[in-house]
Chains A and B, each alone.
Chain A
Amino acid sequence: MKLPPGVTPGDFAEAIKQFEEAVGEQWVYTSDDDVALYRDAYSPFLGEPDEIVASAAVAPDGVEQVQSVVRIANRYKIPIYPISTGRNLGYGGSAPVLSGSVVLDLKRMNRILEVNERNAYALVEPGVSYFDLYRHIQEKGLKLWLDVPDPGWGSLVGNSLDHGAGYTPLPFRDHFESHCGMEVVLANGELLRTGMGAVPKAQTWQQFKYGLGPYVDGLFSQSNFGVVTKMGFWLMPQPEAYRVATVWVPKYNDIIPFVDIMARLMNSGTINCHIWIESPAYNGPPDGEREALLAKPDGGSPEEWDRYAQDRKIKFWGCPFSFYGLSKVIDAQWEHVKEQFSAIPGAVFEEGESFRFPLTPEQTERVGERSKLGIPSLGVFSLGARSAVNPTPNNGHLWLAAVIPMTGEAVLEAQKVFTKAFREWGVSPSVGLPQSYHWRTFVLLYGFPITDDIETNKKNRATFDRMLRLAADHGWGEYRTHTAFMDTAVSAYSFNDHALLRFHEKLKDAVDPNGILSAGRYGIWPRELRKAKT
């Protein structure tokens, strides 16, 4: 067992004993086998001594038990690390940032406290998964949708607090934006409710976000200032219809007018769907000529890439647009979208699937793009799993997710910067494609597999770290990152000698003076550990 830093074996043993008294002996895990279950399933340090591991785990079943655990942790200065369902795969999973922390496993707190159909919201505990709430809504026959990430077995609370996102319209697919009200156990064990929840007889906790005074909810996301024990979420009323259609444009530089038109349509509300700009030119089957172009010092000129696409009779860029709502309105939206994109010579429009709701169980079964309809799925595990087309499975992945402006010029620049760096670093070049989950920006995603080979993992970690720094040099910060890279990712946000991080540290010292909560999460370390690091 790896003890928390600075904690004596005697204090640790006493804390464990008191945890057992607080939550029940069977819900405190200290054996090597049990604690190993909290390892990060997708650790980039797989098989290496540097892997971050917990010392123990405690699994309370209610708010009062969480308060007791926090108070005990304060008494003995035990670092604890709350997780919800522990399925934040690719971003640290159920493992802490600081080795030796005690994981505070909230999975048993899995109550769906309220689902209100008339005002379209839910109030849930951290252990409730997207599957849980989806099944509840289906069983009750409610005409509500929830937005789901991939995979769908994560926690609504945990995903939201890590700024996760899904695929239906905004604000629902931005899971933090769509939350409304939270309950938090502070580091001293005190219970706090945000927004209208601070009113003792609150009638609108899940309807009005701000309450009165400073809006503090954001302080509890991507942070370590409290343990969120309840959270409200706005749900989407079931639409009448859904339709998807794709716009294709032929040339490399068409991305510039394409994104301009798309952004205008998004900002004016005609398009409100998850965006993933595709490129058959960059993402087709293996092709030596593509690799040769990417290997050139300039990564291939626009003219060379246009010739490449023309020779293969493929379009350079395309994007499927999903529409949700009244059937007649959707038809009008799509007509308007076509009119606007027709300004790009050679634009082609491809009709896709359409549905009217509710779906029958048989129709639901056959939906391929489930997450676009708010149906949770585990299909995303096919990325990386063994299959007929992937004989060499990996052990998970890391995602680099740089936030870039929503312009075609920014997309081309970011792709060039990273591709050039790959060439210089001796890494096989790949081209990231822009997606949009949140308002008004793209994220450019690059995936790194976790393999069985330690040397390959070391090389991928080094590349990942260099990419974070390279992105920062160009003004592109991450929206979220794996626990192993939080310090590096946060260091990009360095304006005025890291004024933002220093402010976070001041808050940390004030609300958690013993530094017991999630030490190191998103670069926020308690005072004593900051001293030790320097």
Chain B
Amino acid sequence: MMRARNATLSALAFILLGAGIASGQNSSWTLFSSRSEQALAPKIQRGKEVFQNLCSGCHGPDIKNASPGIGATMPGTDALAAKYKGTKPALLEERKDLTPQVIKIFVRNGVSVMPRFRKTELSDGDLEALSAYLTRDNKP
């Protein structure tokens, strides 16, 4: 219930409203993908929906010109920016080094103020889809 007013943290957006292009509509797999990549497409699309519903409220991108207050901040993105200091992308959707194992560890165990997710919130199937989405650009 507690909240800080006039926080100076950077203000960011709901990815739900603005992040459609980065993955699911990425031409690298919708237009020129191999058969195996095409088979993954529905799973990746589902993973993107999971990310938007469960993750993007903390791990979405910054928005410019937000008014004062913490409501528009992205604590997960800010935390990763502070942790990696530019050596890795702060946005999970831009990472290319995540593995399904690492994603599962964080989702099922939580970290810092991020709580763990139960299976009634995020099923094993949706966790697989989320992993497929967040690892879609990894190099083999």
A165 & B72 in contact (Cβ 8 Å cutoff): no
Which A residue's beta carbon lies closest to that of B16? A135
Give A364 to B113 CA distance when docked, in angstroms. 26
A367 & B113 in contact (Cβ 8 Å cutoff): no
Residue in contact with B14 in the complex, picked from A38, A57, A365, A380, CB distance below 8 Å: A365
A386 & B116 in contact (Cβ 8 Å cutoff): no
B116 & A41 in contact (Cβ 8 Å cutoff): yes
Residue in contact with A365 in the complex, picked from B3, B66, B108, CB distance below 8 Å: B66
Which B residue's beta carbon lies closest to that of A91? B1
| A343 at interface by CB-CB < 8 Å | no
Residue in contact with B71 in the complex, picked from A89, A127, A379, CB distance below 8 Å: A379
| B114 at interface by CB-CB < 8 Å | yes
Give A41 to B115 CA distance when docked, in angstroms. 5
Interface of B is mostly: loop
Write out the residue numbers on chain A whose beta carbons fall within 8 Å of the beta carbon of B1: 149-150, 164-166, 399, 437
B106 to chain A, nearest CB (A): 13
Known A-B contacts A368-B69, A382-B78; the reply to A320 vs B5 at CB < 8 A is yes
Write out the residue numbers on chain B whose beta carbons fall within 8 Å of the beta carbon of A278: 5
| B47 at interface by CB-CB < 8 Å | no
A369 & B118 in contact (Cβ 8 Å cutoff): no
B66 & A108 in contact (Cβ 8 Å cutoff): no
A108 & B11 in contact (Cβ 8 Å cutoff): no
| B70 at interface by CB-CB < 8 Å | yes
Which A residue's beta carbon lies closest to that of B2? A445
| B13 at interface by CB-CB < 8 Å | yes
| B95 at interface by CB-CB < 8 Å | no
| B120 at interface by CB-CB < 8 Å | yes
B67 & A380 in contact (Cβ 8 Å cutoff): no
The A21-36 residues at the B interface (CB cut-off 8 A) are 27, 29, 33-34, 36
B72 & A377 in contact (Cβ 8 Å cutoff): yes
Which A residue's beta carbon lies closest to that of B79? A386
Write out the residue numbers on chain B whose beta carbons fall within 8 Å of the beta carbon of A386: 78-79, 82-83, 112
The B1-42 residues at the A interface (CB cut-off 8 A) are 1-5, 7-9, 11, 13-14, 17-18
Known A-B contacts A37-B108, A149-B1, A380-B2; the reply to A86 vs B79 at CB < 8 A is no
B3 & A368 in contact (Cβ 8 Å cutoff): no
Known A-B contacts A378-B57, A385-B79; the reply to A394 vs B112 at CB < 8 A is yes
A37 to chain B, nearest CB (A): 4
Known A-B contacts A41-B116, A94-B118, A366-B66; the reply to A382 vs B72 at CB < 8 A is no
Give A366 to B7 CA distance when docked, in angstroms. 14
Which B residue's beta carbon lies closest to that of A376? B57
B3 & A371 in contact (Cβ 8 Å cutoff): yes
Residue in contact with A366 in the complex, picked from B67, B70, B78, B114, CB distance below 8 Å: B67
The B30-85 residues at the A interface (CB cut-off 8 A) are 53, 57-58, 63, 65-76, 78-79, 81-83
Interface string of A360-376 (1 = CB under 8 A from B): 01001111111110010
Give A364 to B66 CA distance when docked, in angstroms. 9
| A153 at interface by CB-CB < 8 Å | yes
B5 & A387 in contact (Cβ 8 Å cutoff): no
Which B residue's beta carbon lies closest to that of A386? B79
Residue in contact with B7 in the complex, picked from A34, A36, A382, CB distance below 8 Å: A382
Give A390 to B114 CA distance when docked, in angstroms. 15
B63 & A388 in contact (Cβ 8 Å cutoff): no
A385 & B78 in contact (Cβ 8 Å cutoff): yes
B118 & A383 in contact (Cβ 8 Å cutoff): no
Give A409 to B76 CA distance when docked, in angstroms. 40
Known A-B contacts A276-B5, A365-B14; the reply to A39 vs B75 at CB < 8 A is no
Give A389 to B118 CA distance when docked, in angstroms. 31
How many interface residues does chain B have, given as a range?
Answer: 35 or more
A369 & B71 in contact (Cβ 8 Å cutoff): yes
| A59 at interface by CB-CB < 8 Å | yes
Which B residue's beta carbon lies closest to that of A320? B5
B9 & A382 in contact (Cβ 8 Å cutoff): yes
A145 to chain B, nearest CB (A): 14
| B88 at interface by CB-CB < 8 Å | no
Give A131 to B8 CA distance when docked, in angstroms. 25
How many interface residues does chain A have, given as a range?
Answer: 35 or more
| A105 at interface by CB-CB < 8 Å | yes
A385 & B65 in contact (Cβ 8 Å cutoff): no
Write out the residue numbers on chain B whose beta carbons fall within 8 Å of the beta carbon of A189: none
Among the interface residues B1, B66, B110, which one has the most CB atoms of the partner chain A within 10 A?
Answer: B1
Which A residue's beta carbon lies closest to that of B58? A378
| A391 at interface by CB-CB < 8 Å | yes
Write out the residue numbers on chain B whose beta carbons fall within 8 Å of the beta carbon of A396: 113, 115
Which B residue's beta carbon lies closest to that of A366? B66
Residue in contact with A105 in the complex, picked from B14, B68, B76, B118, CB distance below 8 Å: B118
Write out the residue numbers on chain A whose beta carbons fall within 8 Å of the beta carbon of B58: 378, 381
| A395 at interface by CB-CB < 8 Å | yes
B70 & A380 in contact (Cβ 8 Å cutoff): yes
Known A-B contacts A365-B18, A393-B113; the reply to A381 vs B75 at CB < 8 A is yes
| A447 at interface by CB-CB < 8 Å | yes
| A93 at interface by CB-CB < 8 Å | yes
A107 & B118 in contact (Cβ 8 Å cutoff): yes
Which A residue's beta carbon lies closest to that of B11? A368
| A237 at interface by CB-CB < 8 Å | no
A393 & B79 in contact (Cβ 8 Å cutoff): yes
B120 & A391 in contact (Cβ 8 Å cutoff): no
| A384 at interface by CB-CB < 8 Å | yes
Residue in contact with A93 in the complex, picked from B3, B13, B115, CB distance below 8 Å: B115
B75 & A387 in contact (Cβ 8 Å cutoff): yes
Spell out B's residues near A (CB within 8 Å): 1-5, 7-9, 11, 13-14, 17-18, 53, 57-58, 63, 65-76, 78-79, 81-83, 108, 110, 112-121
Spell out A's residues near B (CB within 8 Å): 27, 29, 33-34, 36-39, 41-42, 57, 59, 85-87, 89, 93-94, 105, 107-108, 127, 131, 149-153, 164-166, 276, 278, 320, 353, 361, 364-372, 375, 377-391, 393-397, 399, 437, 445, 447
CB<8 Å pairs between A and B, sample of 7: A57-B118, A87-B115, A365-B18, A375-B71, A378-B75, A385-B75, A397-B113
